Amino acid sequence: MDLKRMRYFCVIAEQGSISKAARLLNIAPPPLGKRLQELEEEIGSPLFIRTSKKMVLTDTGLFLYRKSSEILSQVNSITRQAIDIASQKKRTICIGVSYLYLRYFNSILLNLYAKNPDWEPDVVVSDSSHLEEMVLKKNVDIAMIQSPREARSFYVHNFEPIKPVAVVSGKLADNFSKQTLSFTDLTGLPLILLQRIGGEGTYEVLLNQLYSEIKKINIIMRVSEPRFVIEMFRTGLAGACIMPESEVGECSLRHYRTFAIEQQVKLFCPAIVTLYSEKDTFLSESQW
């Protein structure tokens, strides 16, 4: 098994199809399929289960993917470092940051930048689901997002969950004298819920929790960015939103108030992800 065949196999595993992998590798699907067949014959075992939707790794395939990714990650890291030394230039690193955690990841991003003086970051702000796809397509090197529900081909560094809080607009907040609210206190209130663009995420988890405790749920809007909700409250929108405590900032009592949530719910789980085959290049243990 050579490095090229190893790389082809890893890209197929990451993309879930030969045609998608072929487009990314800029080669025709038949030769790529032939390389995979040769690799399976060399191993003596199928590496994928073929389904109508995608190719799923077998246990043997998953083992080979993890080991191959580690080797390719080290090779990529050595190559990049050698190029940097030879050119004495900074290397461009594309970093994606989710709308959901802009304030939270600010200090973490600056810390990574300080520890990697050879980096020249290009920062993209987008939705977690979009950034996951950008990592898979190698348009983004690192993504700071909601922890993926399916790890797939990602190397994931998870952080401690962030406490959810209820942010309630000014006049509605005046109805509550206590500092902590339960979900039942939100009955009938106009709710703005945070929702990612694609796939399931915090929206579905929160909605299930609300339906289990509230008879009357009044959702008036779905938004992907906490900052936008805060700005709408500042300009007079009446409503309530469950969001990460880190994203609220300084409270403006005239426009909105922040309340702790009585229920212990694991909702907002920030993480940094990269492709498993790139983990030594971008997210070595020394970063933390």
How far, in Å, CA of 142 to CA of 55, rounded?
Answer: 24
- Mean per-residue pLDDT, 171-199: 91
**Strand ranges of the sheet holding 164-169, from the earlier edge strand across to the other edge:** 180-181, 256-261, 164-169, 240-244, 190-194, 218-223
- Per-residue confidence at 286, pLDDT binned at 50, 70, 90? low
How far, in Å, CA of 77 to CA of 274, rounded?
Answer: 14
- Mean per-residue pLDDT, 14-23: 92
Residue 287 reports pLDDT greater than 80: no
Query: H or E element: which one contains 256?
Result: strand 256-261
**Regarding beta strands 119-126 and 91-98, do their DSSP bridges make them parallel or antiparallel, or are they unpaired?**
parallel
User: Which pLDDT belongs to residue 251?
Assistant: 66
How far, in Å, CA of 39 to CA of 6, rounded?
Answer: 9
- For 7, the token pair is 């790389």
Query: H or E element: which one contains 119?
Result: strand 119-126
Cβ-based burial of 13 (10 A; exposed 0-12, middle 13-18, buried ≥19): buried
Q: 48-52, 67-71, 197-201, 270-274: which has the highest mean pLDDT?
A: 270-274
How far, in Å, CA of 34 to CA of 137, rounded?
Answer: 22
Residue 255 reports pLDDT greater than 90: no
Q: Is 267 helix (H, G, I), strand (E, B) or coil?
A: coil
252 vs 228, residue with greater confidence: 228
- CB atoms inside a 10 Å sphere around CB 222: 12
Angle, vertex CA 103, rays to CA 98 and CA 108, nearest 5: 85
Name the residue type at position 92: T
Lowest-pLDDT range of 82-86, 175-179, 245-249: 82-86
Cβ-based burial of 217 (10 A; exposed 0-12, middle 13-18, buried ≥19): middle
* Entry pTM: 0.71
- For 245, the token pair is 């405590």
Q: Enumerate domains of the chain plus CATH numbers.
A: 3-71 (1.10.10.10), 90-159+269-287 (3.40.190.10), 164-261 (3.40.190.10)
159 close to 281: Cβ distance less than 8 angstroms: no
Residue 257 CA: distances (Å) to CA of 45, 99, 107, 177, 260: 60, 21, 25, 11, 10
72 close to 99: Cβ distance less than 8 angstroms: no
